[in-house]
Amino acid sequence: MDSCSDLKLVGRCRVARDGVNCTLGGNYQNLQKHASQVAERYNTDSIDFKLTISAGRKNEQSAAESKFNQLTVDIVKEVVTIGLDDLLEADGDVTAAPITARHASPLEFHHLLQNAANENAARTETSGAENSDDTVKKETVLVDCRNVYETRIGHFEAEGVITLDPGTRAFSDLPAWFESNARKLAGKRVLMCCTGGVRCERASAYLLTLGSCFQGNDDVVQLQGGIERYLEQFGQEGFFKGKNFVFDERGESEGILRLLKEEEKGLKPSDNSCSGTIRGACCVCTTPWGEYGARARCSACRMLVLLCDTCHSKTGNEDDKAGEITNQPMMLCELCQQQRSSTCDITTISTQQGPVPYYTNTNLNLPTSLLPSTRIRILCLHGFRQTARNFQGRTSALRRRLKHVAEFVFIDAPHTVPDIYGSMNRSQQRQEKKTREIENEESSAPFFIESNGTSTSPSIRPTTSNQDQWEQKRLRRGWLVSPEQYNTPHFLPRGDDLDHEQYHHQTAGLKESLDILDNVLDTQGPWDGILGFSQGASIAALLAARECHERPTKEERRFKFVICCSGYPSPLRNKEQEKTVLMPSLHVYGATKQDKQISEPESKSLWEQFDAAKRVLLRHNAGHVIPSTRLAAARIADFIAWAREEESKEH
């Protein structure tokens, strides 16, 4: 800060354990001096200082919003907020930094885009034929890691390369998009770009964690130095068309070479009169427009929207105190508009000039017009030491959000397991009380299939009046138990330390569980899918593997997809079931260190057993539970709709 203050530099600095990211403005010579001081202080020449010529601030409001009217230093968890700070293992330890994708210089990146059309054509011609060149086999796609308001004023357009726009409001939304679309990116060469390269560092690191299909040397490639470096070398003569959104007082940039060329010709720096470079449209009148000078925002979500000068002049004067436009009409961003009408798994940027069509990548309101015309049926398998009733209570909030999508049917596991008596901590007491209240509310719901198996529990259901007494006597259940627990007494004393890895030793009782589940699948269908939690997820995955092996064609299968929540690989898989499971699957589990019962590596290991083109990941921060947020429900509904679509394609 002392150096910046002495040199009269302004701007923003973010300091985090994974790095430092600064955007500074001031006298060009002073910026050069500051860069030299930083490089000398840290004894490195590896820092990428992007020095560029500025045409000046867009206006006073852009300077204030970008904090370029002062020097600001923020101490943050992540240098760019992607919401994955749990992946950073140690403060200040660069050796613990996540592995990122291979970097390609602007020139190499340009050549990759240039050659993609020929490669994709060759890939099409040689499909089905033997070819040792993986780069020819793979289709090339470009993922733009920026937010939707950034991509709307400029993006890459290369013939033969599909450019994917995740359509996010914030960078922290990107992991969910990768998880939803990993199956579509698998087997392709993924090029990535962002403004200056920092976001690609975090985004590519996360994509590489989604399986071996992204971990080859050329599977994922990121643009070194970002779009800023690319524009410095190619300007508008390259594949990037329009303007590059920047988070400083300039608002947008088109590259230093373009500015220099215009200055040499005696022209003013580029403005919106360059109609050939416009890629956006006014949100009110749809006139082609490519700058955010008005600093107008969506009336609903407050995201930046494009507003042309004509429409801006009709909205009234700016309120200097509030810094917002007064008397403005209702203006909705494209995401809020599309949230009312349609969804799109992967959004594709138009390669035509003119306004870009509006898309969104997810819909949180779950319009029934986009969901299956009839509710599907999902068989639900509870976890170890739970019951059907207990599991029903724990999924109550999620089921309410998905009531128009699916009917959830719960079944008791056949084995009673020893209850553990002793004191519970306050957190456990609150959870038990909450679950019991939910169970009481729904005790009459016709959601259950009786399955006695080896159970000694009565086949009656409790009434609300005697629910508490029933809770004291009712035994918990499991699909698998340890050999020591098989036919053991009903109660065991609570030890000081519970065995959190007991699921590794639960290998007894599989036959009884499979017999009951086979009977239910055969006699009480039709079924569309199976949802399992914890031990139930392990059993669900085992059933899916067996179903694909014993019933090769989809017409034969008794269910079409599987949802594994906080699951782990079954210790009882045989050699045939160890093959890749060719069934659509959704895997829901907690982030690193969040799930205290089943670790993330265990759940990820189960996820890797399924076909990369048919598996979807939903990663959350809620621990050993099934998340019931609106976003989680939307992701599950999207998966169900996609799984049904896949089924119809193959019929």
- Contact between residue 527 and residue 540 where contact means Cβ atoms under 8 Å apart: no
Q: What are phi and psi of 429, to 5 degrees?
A: -65, -45
Among all chains, which residue has been given the structure tokens 């490639």?
221
Q: What are phi and psi of 563, to 5 degrees?
A: -120, 115
Residue 145 is among the residues annotated as catalytic for this protein: no
Round to whole Å and give the CA distance between 149 and 335: 10
Residue 499 DSSP SS3 = coil
Pick from 266, 235, 262, 221: which is nearest to 108 by CA? 221
Instruction: Quickly list DSSP for 399-412.
Output: HHHTTTTEEEEEE-
Element (H, E) at 13: strand 10-16
Round to whole Å and give the CA distance between 409 and 401: 16
- Of the candidates 4, 145, 194, 200, the residue annotated as catalytic is 194
- Amino acid at site 522: D
CA–CA distances in Å: residue 163 to residues 156, 189, 289, 347, 514: 7, 12, 21, 9, 46
List all residues 6 or more positions away from 327 whose beta carbon is below 8 Å from its beta carbon.
315, 316
Q: What would the two tokens of residue 70 be?
A: 């002062």
Distance of CA 513 to the CA centre of its chain: 34
What are the strands, taking DSSP E only, across 520-570?
529-533, 561-565
CA–CA distances in Å: residue 374 to residues 80, 171, 377, 562, 638: 43, 35, 10, 19, 15
CA–CA distances in Å: residue 395 to residues 133, 296, 416, 623, 627: 48, 41, 22, 14, 9
Instruction: Quickly list DSSP for 60-84.
Output: HHHHHHTTTTSEEEEE-SSSS--S-
CA–CA distances in Å: residue 277 to residues 193, 269, 355, 651: 19, 14, 11, 45
Round to whole Å and give the CA distance between 203 and 504: 34
Q: For residue 154, how many other CB atoms are within 10 A of its CB? A: 26
Helices (H), 209-331: 226-234, 256-264, 309-313
Rounded (5°) CA angle 172-531-389: 110
In the chain, the N- to C-terminal Cα span, in Å, equals 65
Round to whole Å and give the CA distance between 333 and 229: 29
- Contact between residue 477 and residue 490 where contact means Cβ atoms under 8 Å apart: no
Q: How many CA atoms lie within 13 A of 552 on its CB side?
A: 1
Q: What are phi and psi of 46, to 5 degrees?
A: -90, -5
List all residues 6 or more positions away from 450 whose beta carbon is below 8 Å from its beta carbon.
412, 459
Q: Which residues are catalytic?
A: 194
